[in-house]
Amino acid sequence: MRVAVLGGGRSSEHEVSLASAASVAEGLAAGGHEVLAVEIARDGRWLHEGREVAMTAAGGLLGADVAFPALHGPFGEDGVVQGLLECLDVPYVGSDVASSALCMDKVRFKTVMGAAGLPQVEHRGVAEARWRAEPAAVRAELEALGLPVFVKPARLGSSVGIGKVTAADGLAAALDDAFAHDPLAIVEAASTGTEVECSVLGDEDARASVAGEIVLHSDFYDYEAKYEAGGMELVIPARISGAAAGEVARIAVEAFARGGCSGLARVDFFVEGERVLLNELNTMPGFTTTSVYAKLWEADGLTYPALVEELCAIALRRHARSRAHRH
């Protein structure tokens, strides 16, 4: 296959995305595929071999058979680039416009999952405009979550802008930090359970990987814990009961389907004994060879080159299926 691998992007996860894209490119090359590296600059320009990429509607992308958008965060993982690739009529790895947008928005995602009856940590969405206008009312609503709570931008990844609030007087500062990134924040009750992650692969036939346990060497799973050496340890398989592991896999696949996802996702949980709580779903998780998503599939016997090749094949099948319908 001739694969355009997209990396970089306009979000604060630009550097993480470049690392993911480099690994994807290496994996595809190892499988004998031709790689076209496309870097999306911080200002939004698309560059290939140092030159801006010309794009026209239905004109494809550099003659690629398929695109692999290894992009994280806004303007990459939220449906924006997926919409552009649809306009170019290029098959692409990962979820479509609607599913990408839904899963990027933690508040709306949790609303949909809650409507489906999937168990989750208690949470509240907080709009910046309402917080400024009615702080006392918002505080009263958030008191039901207890303390500590975690405050996050609703539509950002890699734990950027996240804060842990252990006393009521710390709430305003944590919300201000979140609002610096997004006018919508989510406030989540703390769980004392084991932090567990599960990878999902496929389309209408999605399957779940073995579950992995995140062991932190810091207070919580922030940006440094995710990306700095020694910040966390991944234990495979997770040290949970067989019944809980089965429930993790079941909910991961159901959340994937309920979100309308395709290709891949990493689904994050808290496991409190036999109680499994859904936390988040990432449609384009970190994708280096040492990232959790790939490591969980490696533990199940799927090598990195085989993984990226299967994702491209899924994208091509989905594109063909979509084009078989009249719009």
Could you give the residue numbers annotated as active site?
Answer: 13, 158, 227, 266, 268, 280, 282, 286
The DSSP element (H or E) to which 141 belongs, if any, is: helix 135-142
Q: Which two tokens stand for residue 42?
A: 């911080």
Query: How would you class 233 by CB atoms within 10 Å of its CB: exposed for 0-12, middle for 13-18, buried for 19 or more?
Result: exposed
Query: DSSP string spanning 115-140?
Result: HTT--B--EEEEEHHHHHH-HHHHHH
Task: Output the CA–CA distances (angstroms, integers) from residue 165 to 29, 31, 117, 174, in the order listed.
Answer: 45, 47, 28, 7
Query: Bridge-partner residues for 186, per DSSP?
Result: 125, 152
Q: Which two tokens stand for residue 149?
A: 């709570």
**Taking CA 212 as the corner, what is the angle to CA 103 and CA 205, rounded to the nearest 5 degrees?**
55
Q: Which two tokens stand for residue 250?
A: 């079941």
**Taking CA 44 as the corner, what is the angle to CA 38 and CA 47, rounded to the nearest 5 degrees?**
30
**Taking CA 293 as the corner, what is the angle to CA 288 and CA 295, rounded to the nearest 5 degrees?**
75
Tokens 């909910």 -> residue: 251
CB atoms within 10 A of CB 144: 9
The DSSP element (H or E) to which 212 belongs, if any, is: strand 212-216
Q: Which two tokens stand for residue 84?
A: 């552009």
What lies within 8 Å, CB to CB, of 242 at 6+ separation is none
Query: DSSP string spanning 52-72?
Result: EPP--TT--STT-SEEEE---
